[in-house]
Amino acid sequence: MQNKLTIRPAQQSDREAVFKFCEHTFDWGDYVPNVWDVWLKEKQAQLFTATLDNKPVGIMCVSIRKPGEAWLQAARTDPNYRRRGVATALTNACLEWAENKGSETARLSTDSDNYAAQKVLEALGFTQVSDFLIMKCEKLRVEETENSRWAKKGDLEKMWSFLTSSEVFKKSAGLYTVMFTWASLNKQTLARFIADKKAIVQDNNKAIGGLVLIDETIKDVWQEKPFQTCYIDGDRQVIVDIMKFFKTYSYKKGIMNVYAFACNTPTIAAALTEAGFSREETETELIYQKKLIP
């Protein structure tokens, strides 16, 4: 009996075997079944399957979220076939696909307590560039705020100047996140957040003291239909005030839960706690990056 590992594009016929070994990825199951059909059809993404003797034993998806930037996710290996190079082979296939698509950078995330994955990533030339925490608030109501408001088009230059001089922005590696997918936050992206009324600022004496970027698309994907933050920056009291503004907005929209995704710093963690957020898990999301094209 041969034992040949093969990496190929995923097929609909892989579905049953893949869903079976994804059943216990997390305590609640896995999101792979919810996105399987979408990934198979998405033009800017490639879902790969690893097979041993034609049996699916692993999957991984790579997608182009912004020009020049690839995102790798959903690395899954059948528990019965671990330590056979499945994850490494899948990652290499994703990186080759991304490079062929013109990506200059590839990124992915893993839990801070997933030491096995971290070891594999470092061996593959990935470097940890940031660390994000995730906190949740389930008690929403109307709260008074002081100087927080929606950002306007005329705020762009001041907001960008604030970010480029921010230590949090540096520690974030210049990244923001939407639904566990991280990408670079550049001036053009910031302008889009402002235009979409998804950027909140606090300005005291007409100087930008902090900002929070939000996203609402997860309400159409997650069962509890929450809103989320994509990026948080500012000192403690500024963040507290902006998060009260965000919570009030969410409450008026009929949202019962909001998630805060933010760079893992003591100041931000303390501010979110003061604003009524708590952590469901102790681990954080480590963001890894690899340059593909010099």
CB 294 within 8 A of CB 194: no
Q: What is the pLDDT of residue 228?
A: 96
Tell which wins on pLDDT, 118 or 282.
Answer: 118
Tokens of 160: 């960008």
pLDDT tens profile 251-285? 999 999 999 999 999 999 999 999 999 998 888 99
Beta-carbon contacts of 277 under 8 Å, excluding residues fewer than 6 positions away, are 135, 136, 137, 243, 260
Tell which wins on pLDDT, 16 or 27.
Answer: 16
Q: What is the pLDDT of residue 161?
A: 96
CB 17 within 8 A of CB 33: no
User: How does residue 224 score in pLDDT terms, banded at 50, 70 and 90?
Assistant: confident
Taken in order of first residue, the domains within the chain and their CATH numbers are: 5-103 (3.40.630.30), 133-286 (3.40.630.30)
Residue 141: pLDDT over 90? yes
Tokens of 208: 């930008």
Residue 212: pLDDT over 70? yes
Over residues 176-203, the mean pLDDT reads 96
pTM of the model: 0.92
